[in-house]
Structures are given as structure tokens and as C-alpha cells.
Structure 1
Amino acid sequence: MATGPAAPATEQVSPPDSRETVGNITTFVSGMTKFHNNPDLSDIVLRVGPNVYYAHKFALARSSDVFHTMLAGQLWADSKKSEIVLKESSACEEVFTEFLKYFYCGQVTLEIDTAVPLLLLGDKYNVESIRTECEKFMRRKVQGGNARAAVMYMHYARMYGFEELEEKCFDAISRNFASAVAMPEWLELDVQYVGELLQCTTLIVENEFAVFKAMQDWVLAEYREAQAGENLIRLLPHVRFSQMLPQQLVNVERSAIGQKFPLLLSPFINEAYRFRSLAGQVGGFHDNKFLPRDYTAKEWCTFLRLQLSDIRRFQHNVRTISLDSPVPNEVHSEDYMWNIAFQLNYIGKRFRSGLGSNATLHKYECLAIKLTPLKICPRDRSFEISLLVYDRDVNVAQIIRRSATVKATQATHRESYAIQAATGFRFGMPSFGQQDSVTVEQFFEENELGPDSPYVKESAINVAVIIKPHVE
């Protein structure tokens, strides 16, 4: 009797819980690492500058499509060679062994000086993971306040479109300008970056003369001196000569630039003298170049050391003279005496998470700085207030900026020495009518101001208060 074709054997499928994935990735990677720059089984030699590296086509092609095309492409003559010469810059030559190691172990060791050449190699050979790790490393270093790293990385941040890194570089340099311009890398910056930094309104610097000196060092660098005149034409308009004190203006005239390029410098010096003569009488100087930056010299800034035990227990008053500016910026510019009061308070804020009524309590310490003028304001006055919080090494760690207006106030006819109703501060002056106060606050996470805090040294924090006139 004829029979049909035999039925196919039923495939035996193991139940999911009977299968296991076994093996040790660490062991696998360590096994690959031993072939780094090892002639054993090597099928390609890379000559980079004076150095020779033994490599394996598979390892190179696995992570780099550039190497894959170079070593396996039929149209590339190098694909048939057993030795390839790679032309790299001297900086890239120095890190090439670290770059090659990545193809065997998937890791690369980064330092401030090696991040850029490794980034360049990662870009040239299209190893995206190295590019990504280099950018992350650069951001971490710059965010930590390393001024040297910020100056080194700024050009490459813009070249590769790393916008966040570029922003952090500008911020780090503006906070640590004195440290940044003392680095040899400052002299290597392109003129466009120097110009942008000199224009920066958020620059924290001792005074404007320090800005001029940094610009002069850059312009007169030995390998750039032939273009000094051209660069001065671009950069001099960004120096705020109007904010220099008289002796500083004289020092500018006596400087190397003043002696070598008097015709280029004189219009700016003359404008500064004109400003000093007229600003307090007729006003009208409202351009940024006629306004101060955040200067930390004693003429502009009040530097204070606050014991945490004091400001946590009660309001700590500091009676101080804080000038609008040692340079008159507007008509009726006056000196103001301010009462500055500091207090540190715990604040709890509840945040809802998920559904329902569940809420999480987050605790903060709020550093509140209250500024009250101790002098009658005959007219409304606008101010720019900057609060700088320093770390243990007295580098600027936090910046709080705020615009405020103190409203015009009329004094009462009654003169008595008493507690001022508006502020609660007692001082030996007549009792005035209602006075505006300005409060600036900075929040710290709970325990952020503990013994291991980056802001606390010897149970105290260092802050600076800068009060500047604001001109519309």
C-alpha cells in the first residue's frame, strides 16, 4: 500500500527556563587586551611618526569604519600592504598607543592634556564612542572650575559643535579670569575668542586694568607681534577704559602698548577722560563700555567671612560702606551706606511624585542676604547686585546676580534714635520713613554646608557682595 511522504520531525524547543547564557565578559576583554601592540598573529603594522605598532585588521575594522575601508576596501592601495604609514600631529603621535589600546579593551585613559589629541583621533577615524567620552571628560573638568582646561578646550568645543562644553568654557574663564590669563594656553587662543571674552559682561576680575594687561600680553606675544596693530584695532574697543581709576589710565599710557601704539590707544584714553569729566554732570553714557563688570578689588567689592554658627543662630549684620562705583556713572550718583544682614535658615519644600497625595519633603538651607540703604534715596535708584560664594581655595563657586530698584523715600520731620521699623536694625541715625530692602537668596541642599562641604573652610564661608549702578 502506497504511503505519503514522511511527516517532518517535530523540532524540540527547550522551555525558556532551561536555557542559560554563560561566559565572562571581563575574561573575554582581558583576553583581547593581551594582543594590544603584540606581534603575535598581527597582520598589519602601523607606523606613526617614529613609532611602530603591531595591530590586527579585525580589531581595527570592528570599531572604525575608516580603518575598515582602508584595510578591506578594494580601491585602497593600503589594503594590500602589510605596513601602513599614518601621518599624525606630534600631539596625536604621543597618545596613539592609548588610542590603539581602545580597539582591544574598549577603554581609554584621559588626562587634561591628552583629551584633545584623542578627540582628534576619534574624529579622524570615526570612533564615535571616543569622541563622546572625550567630550564628557572635558565638560567634567571645565565644570569643576579648571581654568586651564577651559582655555584649552574652548576652540575645539566650537569646532565640533559641543555647545554645552563651549558655554561651560566661557563660564569657567569668566569666573576665574585671573587664573585663565596666567596660563600659557591663553596666548594661544584665536583673536575671535579673546574678543568675545573681553566683551563678556559677566567677567569676574580684580579691575579693568587687569583686563587690559591680559589683552596686552596676548597681543604682544612673540609669535604674534607682527599682527599687533591689526589685533589692537579689533580688541581695544572691548576694554572698558572708562572704569579705570586715574592712576590706572596713566599706567596704560605708559604701558608697552601705549609706547608702541600711541595713535591707536589715544582715542580710547581720551574717551575715558571725557567720561570721567562729564558722566557725573550730564549723564548719557549708557553703553556697556561705560559700565563696570564684577570687580573684586576693594574699591568695588565687599568681601566677608561668615561663621556658620553665627548666621545659623541669628541674623548677622554687617554695617559697611558700599559705593555705587568709585567711578561716577550717572548724574546725581551718590555714595550709599548699606546695612547688609546675613542669615542661614532651614527650609522644607514638599514635592509631589506619582499619583495620589504622596509628597516628598526636601530640606534646604537658604542663605539670605538683605541689603538696606541707610541713607535717604531722594530718587529711584536701580542697582545690579552680585553675590559671589567662594570654595575652600577661594575660587568663585557660585554666582547670584540680581537687578533691583530702591524707591525714592522722604525723611520724616521727627528725629529720634530708635529701631528702624522697615528693617529691624538698630543704629545711631535718625528714624527715616519706609526704606526699601533688597534680598538675595542662595539655596544649598541639606548638609551641603557640612564639614566636608567644598564651600566651608574652618567652619566659615567666604562671600563677596558687589553693588553696581544699573543704567537703562
Structure 2
Amino acid sequence: MLRTTIGWMTGTSRMDSSKRSGAVSSTVAQSESSDSIEVDNSRTVLLKIATLYAERLMNDICLVVDGVEYPAHRLILCASSDVFQVMLMSPQWSESQESRVTLQETPQCAPIFSEFLRYFYTGQIRINHSVVLPILSLADKYNVKDLISLCLDYMRNHVALAAIHGTLVSWLQYTLNCGHHDISQACQNFIKWNLELVAKTADFGNFDLDILVSLLHQSSLVVKDEMTLYKCLEHWLNYQANRLRAQLLPEEVEVTLYQLVIAVMSPVRFPMMSPRQLADLLMSPLTKKYKEFFVERMSIGMSFHSGQINRVKEVSMSEKDGALLFEPRLYTVDTCSSLLTIENFHSLPSYHMRTLVFSSHSSLAEYAGDRVCEWVVDIYPKGVWFKKFFLIVWQGTVEMPEHVKRSVRLSLTCKEPLNSNMRVKIGVLIYGLQDGVEHIARVTEIIHRFSKKDRVLNLDDLLPFEELNPQQGSVSENVVSPFLVGPNKDMLKLHIVISPAN
């Protein structure tokens, strides 16, 4: 019945279909020779449909949400939602025989149900960071596919906005549970690359335990140092303690809180803290309260710094993911990273490079001393130009023609490898701008071995060339790259992180 009705609305029927093949050629010929025109009066028709809802005309069903009545039309509901179509047209459902249907909605969804229903009639709805999640929840529940796509597109383009307004963790957890994998991955990347920014919001306390623990096991987490991560988790635990006190008895609170401490603090990489930081940790109220657990974790850290290799191996083998405790994350502390910026990016000539020289610690363990390794970073943000040169081989001289490579390249040189097989973890953190929020927008991570014969590592396509240089590509010249930051959006900003891979 619904397909027949829609066919009538679009001007097609079975009779039309049977006549169509024979009538097409004559119709085309007539239209070419006549002065007929195609009239588009769809706006007026849509306005008439919207008026049915606005003025509550000719409704044949009433939806009740949280005690509020919403007169509606079965045809519109069924045409817009697969769920309503089954509910209202299948005899097996009791709702199909009723003129009044009560719907159970969450406290977040009930207040915006009117706007959700209005979308069925008008195709218009106002979306912002605070309402997109309940709108998406309704669209998912009733399988309104076009509205689902609109919500997901909005979320994809406003992840940074959600972060500063304290809704990003909720976005992550909902999209992860509902299978919107592209958006959940975008949310997760933003959180793990900008954890300190997200941890300052109240929404950080809403992090589900399992999702948070999964995040803590990742080595691609970007944070100043491991002590900073510890403090972020302290903040999360304080939020849980306040929540539990309002729900449980005092003795139940302590048992549950102890379990939470074990769960979130076990993945913390205490060996990556310096001995001074480990000593300062003894003064923390949380450490004092759960002294036995923390002293044992801190002793693992001190074993690493004092060179107790057997103890390190024992922990790596006996604990689940124990080896990760001795693997550095992407730390932005000065001892293993440096900032590289290119100001006035638009005035930088094509194929020119900028250079950064800095040093990083050769070992994270205290017993190894303060030896450092020096690095030279060359960044080619506007392509690489290989000039013509001559290659001398035993047969003679071979001319190599010039070549231009449209690639954003980073060349990393180890000036003097400290041993014949120096293994390091390299992270290139690239900043971006979205909704006026500066954040780490892209991360490239690689493990590489340097030696006296292999001192140079070239990373090509660090960013899509056309995205960083839209004026050199096919994109409109008015488009500004999302990877340029600063007040005038003319600064390329990178953080180079190099740590020894234990």
C-alpha cells in the first residue's frame, strides 16, 4: 500500500509502467518540438505537508512521549521510518490497530522529540553539539537513515567543538556501542592525541571503565609525560568516588573504588616516570590510601631505572601486557621532543625546506646516564625538487633528469648513532584547526633502526599534499588548509617525538 501511494505521489503506476516503453519516443519528440516547460513547485507542496503537522490537520494517529501528545499521520511516519512502517502496518503489532501510541524515550530524547517529528514533514532540523546525540539516538532507534547521515556528518566535522564543550566522551561511547565506526574512531583519535584537553572537561568523568582501560593500553597516547597521565586518572577516580557515594553504602564505596584504582592504574607505565617523579608520588593522597598497590607498581619502575634486567624480564613475561610498561608513549616533554613551526606558510616558496636541530635522551632508564642523541629534521611542506645530476658508474656517466615529487616530506637524520643498531620510536604530531580549536589533528608513528650506515629516514606523504597546499591543487584558492594554525591560519606546526624503543 505504501509503495502504491508513493508511486501515485511521484506520478507513476503499473499502468504507466506498461505504457512507458511505447510512449517514450513519441513523448520525447513532442517535447522537443513543443514549447512545454518543466515546472518545479516542490517547495509549495512541501509547505502544504508541513502545514499538516504545524496546524494538526487530518491526523490519524497520536504519538505520546513523556505525557505530551503529538498528532501525526501514518503515511508520513511510515514513509520516513522503517520502524514506524513495521509498527503501524504489520497486523502482528498491536500499535497497527491503535490511534494512540505511547513511546518510551530517554530523558535526553523526550524534549527534542517534537523537532525530530517535525523533520519528517519539513526535512529541517537544527543540530548543534549539545543535541546531536539525542537526535542521532532517535534516528537510530527509528531507522531514519537520512537523518542518521546528517548527524554523523555533523559529528565528523565538529569533533573539536565537542571536546571543548564536554560532550566528546559521550559521542565516543555512543557511536562505539551503535557501530558508527568511522565517527567512534575519529573521537578516539582526538581523545588519545589531545588527552590533556579532554581531561579538563566534566565529560571525562563519564568515561566507561572498559573503554578507558582499552585507551590506556595504547602506546600512541600523546601526553606530556606519564605523571601527567597519572594526574588525569586521579581526576577520573575523584569523579567516580563522588558518584559512588551518592549511590552506595560507605563500605560498598570503598570496595568498588579500590577495584577501579586497580583497573585504571595497572596500565600506567610507572617505569616511564623518572625516579624523582616516583618519589614525589609517595606524597599523593591516592598513593597513601592504596599504599600496598602503588609501592609494588613503583618498585617495578625503580627496577627499570636501576638496571635490574631480570626483574624487568620477569614483569614483562608474568603480567598481561607487562612488556608495555617499559614502552614509551608519545611524550611531548622536552627531553624527547621538540616543536617545529613554519610561520607565514603561504609565502614559503615551493620546494623550500625548514630545518630543526634538537637532541633527545638515548635511554629512558636512569642507570644509563644522560647521554643524548642529536637529530636534524628537514621538512619539505611544498614538495621536493630533485635537480638534474650526473651519476658516475663503472660504465661511465649517467645523466639523471630532474624530478618533482608532490609530497609533504619529513627527512630525519641521526647525526651520530650511539651504537650499530639504535632502535627508536618516532612520532610526528601535526596540529590542525577545527571550529577555532587548535589540536593535534594527525599523528604518524614508526619504529626505526638507525646505524652508522643508515642515518637518514625519509617519511613521504606526511599529509595529503592537496590538503596542505590547496592553492597548488585543484581545490578553490579560497580554501584554507585545516592543518594551518595561528591567528591568521598561516602557521604549520609539528611536534617531533623521538624516544628509545626499549
The answer to whether the 8 A contact 1:177-1:205 is kept is yes
Residue 196 of structure 1, aligned match among 214, 219, 232: 214
Residue 26 of structure 1, aligned match among 27, 43, 49: 43
Does residue 222 of structure 2 align to residue 185 of structure 1?
no
Number of residue pairs matched? 423
Distance 1:91 1:281 in 2: 54
The answer to whether the 8 A contact 2:428-2:445 is kept is yes
Residue 44 of structure 1, aligned match among 37, 57, 61: 61
Indicate the residue corresponding to 1:134 in structure 2: 151
Within a 5 Å distance, the mapping from 1:26-105 to structure 2 comes to 26-72=43-89, 74=91, 78-79=95-96, 81-105=98-122
Q: TM-score, normalised by structure 2?
A: 0.74
1:394 Cα offset (Å): 4.1
Residue 494 of structure 2, aligned match among 459, 463, 471: 463
Residue 267 of structure 2, aligned match among 220, 225, 238: 238
The answer to whether the 8 A contact 1:281-1:331 is kept is no
The answer to whether the 8 A contact 1:138-1:149 is kept is no
Indicate the residue corresponding to 1:160 in structure 2: 178
Cα offsets for 1:2-31 (capped at 9, x unmatched):
xxxxxxxxx995812136865532322222
1:195 Cα offset (Å): 0.3
Deviates more, 1:361-370 or 1:124-133: 361-370
User: Matched residue of 2:339: which SS?
Assistant: strand
Indicate the residue corresponding to 1:318 in structure 2: 356
Taking every aligned residue pair, what percent have the same amino acid on both sides?
22
Residue 373 of structure 2, aligned match among 320, 323, 336: 336
1:290 Cα offset (Å): 0.9
User: Matched residue of 1:292: which SS?
Assistant: coil
Q: Aligned letter for 2:432?
A: D
Indicate the residue corresponding to 2:188 in structure 1: 170
1:319 Cα offset (Å): 3.3
Q: What residue ranges of structure 1 are gaps of 5+ in the alignment?
A: 1-10, 350-360, 410-433
Indicate the residue corresponding to 2:284 in structure 1: 255
Residue 410 of structure 2, aligned match among 346, 350, 368: 368
Distance 1:37 1:206 in 2: 54
Q: What residue ranges of structure 2 are gaps of 5+ in the alignment?
A: 1-18, 246-252, 317-322, 387-402, 472-478
Distance 2:92 2:414 in 1: 77
The 1:252/1:196 distance shift into structure 2, 3 A limit, reads same
The 1:383/1:73 distance shift into structure 2, 3 A limit, reads closer
The 1:13/1:466 distance shift into structure 2, 3 A limit, reads closer
Deviates more, 1:332-341 or 1:151-160: 332-341
Cα offsets for 1:182-224 (capped at 9, x unmatched):
2222211211001011111111111111211222222232114
The 1:317/1:293 distance shift into structure 2, 3 A limit, reads same
Indicate the residue corresponding to 2:325 in structure 1: 289
Distance 1:272 1:255 in 2: 17
Within a 5 Å distance, the mapping from 1:2-17 to structure 2 comes to 15-17=26-28
The answer to whether the 8 A contact 1:198-1:211 is kept is no
Q: Aligned letter for 1:323?
A: H
Deviates more, 1:44-53 or 1:64-73: 64-73
Does residue 265 of structure 2 align to residue 228 of structure 1?
no
Indicate the residue corresponding to 1:305 in structure 2: 341
The 1:127/1:80 distance shift into structure 2, 3 A limit, reads same
Distance 1:108 1:248 in 2: 52
Distance 1:343 1:78 in 2: 65
Distance 1:167 1:47 in 2: 36
The 1:470/1:130 distance shift into structure 2, 3 A limit, reads same
Indicate the residue corresponding to 1:399 in structure 2: 443
Distance 2:43 2:405 in 1: 42
Deviates more, 1:46-55 or 1:95-104: 46-55
Indicate the residue corresponding to 2:456 in structure 1: 437
The 1:139/1:340 distance shift into structure 2, 3 A limit, reads closer
Q: TM-score, normalised by structure 1?
A: 0.78
Structure number, greater radius of gyration = 1
The answer to whether the 8 A contact 1:280-1:330 is kept is no
The 1:338/1:39 distance shift into structure 2, 3 A limit, reads closer
The 1:65/1:343 distance shift into structure 2, 3 A limit, reads closer
1:400 Cα offset (Å): 2.1
Distance 1:267 1:62 in 2: 62
1:146 Cα offset (Å): 4.7
Residue 213 of structure 1, aligned match among 231, 238, 251: 231
Q: Higher helix proportion, which one?
A: 2
Deviates more, 1:182-191 or 1:283-292: 283-292
Q: Aligned letter for 1:268?
A: R
RMSD, aligned CA: 3.5
Indicate the residue corresponding to 1:121 in structure 2: 138
Distance 2:405 2:417 in 1: 38
Q: Aligned letter for 1:270?
A: S
Indicate the residue corresponding to 1:267 in structure 2: 296
The 1:45/1:367 distance shift into structure 2, 3 A limit, reads same
